[in-house]
């Protein structure tokens, strides 16, 4: 048998098509079969979405009787009115206060989304940000101080100690006033 399409090469592949309940068989060579029917898997759109994952994680982690679980899922945010179920369905929060309202449930979600992490350690806004920045600088100075002591450069270590003390006093008097760039 030769290929139905190119009518040149021998047919090696049989393709079965179902059309209106009837089966048709087509015989193609490998070249034509590849171009006419490339590997094809029927996918539903959006095969795996965030809210599906979220819902699954919830049901996995909360192995409680159904009733209790349902009660849990009706917790609502008092600011925007979204229930935790809505959060799971949309995969999004309604407002900043949702984080407060659903706080006990969130570590489980974040752990999975962020490689096991549950706490922010980056930048922070406003006065809080300044404070955190100062704390970080103090930590850095302390570790420099240790190095200085290890290498017996005590003068350097003393300088660093004073610097750290200055920063610490800034922290206690409110870092936002003293650090204006």
Write out the residues near other proteins by the rule CB under 8 A: 50, 54, 79-80, 82, 90-96, 99-100, 103, 106, 109-110, 113-126, 128-129
Task: Please list the residues that pair with 16 across neighbouring strands.
Answer: 25
Encoded tokens for 160? 């660093």
Closest approach of other proteins to the CB of residue 64, in Å: 22
Nearer to other proteins, 137 or 159 (CB): 137
Q: Taking the mean position of all CA atoms in its chain, how far away is CA 129? A: 23
Minimum Å gap between C-beta 123 and other proteins is 6
Spatial separation of the C-alpha atoms in residues 26 and 16, rounded to whole Å: 6
Smaller CB distance to other proteins: residue 17 or 35? Answer: 35
Cα separation of 175 and 139, whole Å?
Answer: 16
Tell me, rounded to whole angstroms, the distance of Cα 171 from its chain centroid.
33
Residue 61 Cβ, how far from other proteins at the closest point, in Å?
A: 15
CB 120 within 8 A of CB 105: no
Please, what is the minimum distance in Å from the beta carbon of residue 177 to other proteins? 14
């Amino acid at each position: 048998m030769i290929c139905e399409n190119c009518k040149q090469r021998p047919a090696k592949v049989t393709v079965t098509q179902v059309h209106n309940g009837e089966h048709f068989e087509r015989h193609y060579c490998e070249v034509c079969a590849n171009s006419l029917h490339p590997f094809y898997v029927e996918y539903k759109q959006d095969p795996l979405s965030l809210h599906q994952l979220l819902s699954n994680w919830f049901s996995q982690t909360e192995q409680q009787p159904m009733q209790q679980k349902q009660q849990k899922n009706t917790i609502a945010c008092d600011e925007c009115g979204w229930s935790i179920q809505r959060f799971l369905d949309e995969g999004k929060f309604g407002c900043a206060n949702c984080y407060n309202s659903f706080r006990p449930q969130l570590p489980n979600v974040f752990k999975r989304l962020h490689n096991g992490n549950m706490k922010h350690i980056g930048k922070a806004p406003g006065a809080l940000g300044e404070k955190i920045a100062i704390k970080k600088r103090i930590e850095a100075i302390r570790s420099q101080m240790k190095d200085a002591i290890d290498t017996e450069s005590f003068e350097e270590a003393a300088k660093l100690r004073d610097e750290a003390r200055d920063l610490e006093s800034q922290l206690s008097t409110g870092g936002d006033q003293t650090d204006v760039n």
